[in-house]
Amino acid sequence: MSRIARKKRDFLRITDLSREELTELVERAAEWKLLGKGGPRPLDRMTLGLIFEKASTRTRVSFEVAAYQLGGNAMFLSPRDTQLGRGEPIRDTARVLSRYLDALVVRTFEHAKLEELASQADVPVVNALTDASHPCQIVADLLTVAERFGQDAIGREDLSVAWIGDGNNMANSWLEACARLGFTLRLACPEGYDPDPALLAQAGRHARVFRTPREAVEGALVVNTDVWASMGQEGEAAKRIRDFAGYIVDDALLAAADSRAIVLHCLPAHRGEEISEAVLEGPRSVVFDEAENRLHAQKALLELLLAG
């Protein structure tokens, strides 16, 4: 028997939310930021299970702190400490944990594994990162953009966002946000490193891939990048350094952006590779505000999924 009488909601991709829900989620995250540690405690006596197969700093800490500040509790579940690490079927784990916990926050490699777990769980499942998508980070990023340019900016076509580097899970989630909200997304990726073509098609005229960073950054209000080799791709690092030569966000590249442009990076950063030390620590960088906003975004998301 399900422990949740109402229909449960998962958050596996940005497109699990409508345009209105996404903008309201960002607005609510801003409200939670103003409330700080005060405000309501809608997760009273609720417990989250955090199943993490990948290392994490910001995602894990922000979810644990968010649960606590909302009146709930979080339990970290490493695969090496659970039966998942010994081959228990995902469907069995999902059904059992649904009887103990109020939600599952999952950080894993294959997106299909997350989808299987969500299909079997009776409680909400949140994507805390897969190889295909990182939707929680995008909510925090949108909050950071809204703080600088106004809440309505994230839904305007004249907001130009540049993505420089790998067409990875972050690029995919930016494409989904672009499709939902209608801002302009310009991606600079080397040949062979494009984002998901289906998501690019879904974004339609709002998104375009370029082969040189300067083309993507021209006039942009938001300049965004990420590491060239994500978790699980360490063996490709040397090749990727060669393939991504010239794809660094530095002062010379920023000169082509709008004079008001801000720089985002989801962290951790490899200074001197995808971003220069001067830019990361410079006046246009908002990466540490962006990191803080993970907490406020998680609070808004958990409230939506668990308290309605």
Binding residues: 56-59, 83, 107, 134-137, 169, 226, 230-231, 266-267, 294
Q: How far is the C-alpha of 245 from the C-alpha of 306, rounded, in Å? A: 45
CA distance 178 to 185: 7
Among 28, 60, 107, 296, which one carries the catalytic annotation? 107
Kindly report whether the peptide bond that precedes residue 268 is cis, defined as omega within 30 degrees of 0. yes
Catalytic pick among 60, 120, 131, 137: 137
Residue 266 known to be catalytic: yes
Residue 268's CB is within 10 A of a number of other CB atoms, namely: 11
Output the six-digit token pair for 308. Answer: 């309605």
Annotated binding residues for L-ornithine, written as ranges, equal 169, 226, 230-231
Q: Which of 226, 265, 296, 298 is catalytic?
A: 226
> Does residue 194 carry a catalytic annotation?
no
**DSSP secondary structure string for all residues of 33-94:** HHHTT-S--TTTT-EEEEEESS--SHHHHHHHHHHHHTT-EEEEE-GGGSGGGGT--HHHHH
Of 13, 131, 266, 298, which one is the catalytic site residue? 266
Question: Is 107 a known active-site residue?
Answer: yes
For this structure, is 294 an active site residue?
A: yes
Q: Is 226 a catalytic residue?
A: yes
Answer for the pair 177, 145: CB distance below 8 angstroms, yes or no. no
41 given a catalytic annotation: no
Question: Among residues 102, 294, 296, 298, which one is catalytic?
Answer: 294
Of 60, 111, 134, 265, which is the active-site residue? 134
3-state SS class at 185 = strand
Longest CA pairwise span in the chain (Å): 60
Annotated binding site for carbamoyl phosphate: 56-59, 83, 107, 134-137, 266-267, 294
Position 145, amino acid: V
Cβ proximity of 32 and 296 under 8 Å = yes
Write down the residue that tokens 């098609």 correspond to: 201
DSSP 116-144: HHHHH-SS-EEES--SS--HHHHHHHHHH
List the catalytic residues: 107, 134, 137, 226, 266, 294
